[in-house]
Amino acid sequence: MSAIHIENLVKSYEKGKVKALKSISLDIEEGELFGLIGPDGSGKTTLFRILTTLILPDSGNATLMGLDVVEDFWEIRKIVGYMPGRFSLYQDLSIEENLNFFATVFNTTVAENYHLIEDIYVQIEPFKKRRAGKLSGGMKQKLALCCALIHEPKVLLLDEPTTGVDPVSRKEFWDMLGRLKEKGITVVVSTPYMDEASRCDRIALMQDGQIMEMDSLKNILQKHPQHLYAVRSKDMHRLLFDLRNFEGMKSAFAFGDEHHAVLGKGSDDPNQLFDFLQLKGHEQLAIRPISPEIEDVFIQLMQAQES
C-alpha cells in the first residue's frame, strides 16, 4: 500500500475560473522523502490543503495510509503532521508554550513523544522562554517542525519549510528531514528551490496545476538529455539575443552569470555557434559543454508545455 495515493485530483477556485489542480495523480511510498518542486502558483499548497482535509477536491480521490481525505478526515488529522507555509505558530506564546499547546490539542504530552523531536528541540531549548514572534527564521522553522511532529504523525507534510530561510539553516533542516525518514515517517516537502531536489528520494516537478515529470533526480536527468552549453561574452545582454537567433538553437536563457544554450539535434556543433557569434562581433567569447541540471530540465519541460 502506498502511504499517499492520489488519483485524478482536480481543484478549482472562484467558480472554476482558477484551475489550481488539473487532474493530479501520484503515489508516495511509506518512508519516502518526496519533494514537490514548483514555482509560485503551481498548486503545491492546494494539494497539501486537500491532503490535510482542510479543503475538498472538486473531483478525484486521495488516501493517506489507506484513509480517504473526504470520508475519513477525522482519522487523517491524527496521523498527519502539517507545517503550513507561513508557520502556524502562536507568536505571543513562548517556544515551550507553543509545543505544549500542540501536544495538548492532540491529546498527548511533549514527554511522550520527546524522542521524535529531541535532536531538533535541543537546538532551540536554550531559548524556550522566548516568544515565537521574537525568533529568527531558522528557529521558527525548527519550532514549527517540532509542533508538527509532537503527535507522532505517520505522514509529515511540509509546505515550503525552507522558503526565506538562510542557506545554513536550510541545509540543517534537510539533514533533520533525512533523520525523520530513517525513523520511518513518510515526508512530503514542497519547495521552490530546485537545488533541494537532490535531497529527495523522488520529486514531482509541478507547473500550472500539473505534474510535468516525476521520478528520482538521477532518472529525470537521464530521461532528458540535452546538448547544453554555457556561453559567455563581453556583452551578455546582446549575447542572449544573438543566441536565440542562431539556427538550430532549441532554447537559450540566462543562468546565473552565464547563459545556457540548448542546441537541437543535428545542429549540435558548438564550433558553428562559435563562428556565428564571432561574426556578430562578440568579444571574449567562451563556449563550454556542460551537463544539464534539474533547472535546465524544468525550463525545457515548461517550454514544451507552453508551446
Who's near 36: CB < 8 A, 6+ residues apart? 44, 47, 188, 189, 190, 191, 203, 204, 206
Element (H, E) at 279: helix 270-279
The closest alpha carbon to 159, from 57, 294, 7, 40, belongs to 40
Verify binding: residue 46, Mg ion, rule CB under 5 A: no
- How many residues in the shown chain lie near Mg ion by CB under 5 A? 2
- How many residues in the shown chain lie near ligand ADP by CB under 6 A? 12
Contact 170, 195 (CB under 8 A): no
Verify binding: residue 42, ligand ADP, rule CB under 6 A: yes
Verify binding: residue 161, ligand ADP, rule CB under 6 A: no
Among 4, 46, 252, 294, binds ligand ADP (CB under 6 A): 46
Verify binding: residue 14, ligand ADP, rule CB under 6 A: yes
Verify binding: residue 142, ligand ADP, rule CB under 6 A: no
Verify binding: residue 207, ligand ADP, rule CB under 6 A: no
Among 20, 21, 24, 45, binds Mg ion (CB under 5 A): 45
Shortest Å distance, C-beta 305 to ligand ADP: 15
Among 31, 41, 248, 270, binds ligand ADP (CB under 6 A): 41
CA gap 287, 271 in Å, rounded:
9
Stretch that binds ligand ADP, among 11-19, 176-184, 265-273, 284-292 (CB under 6 A): 11-19
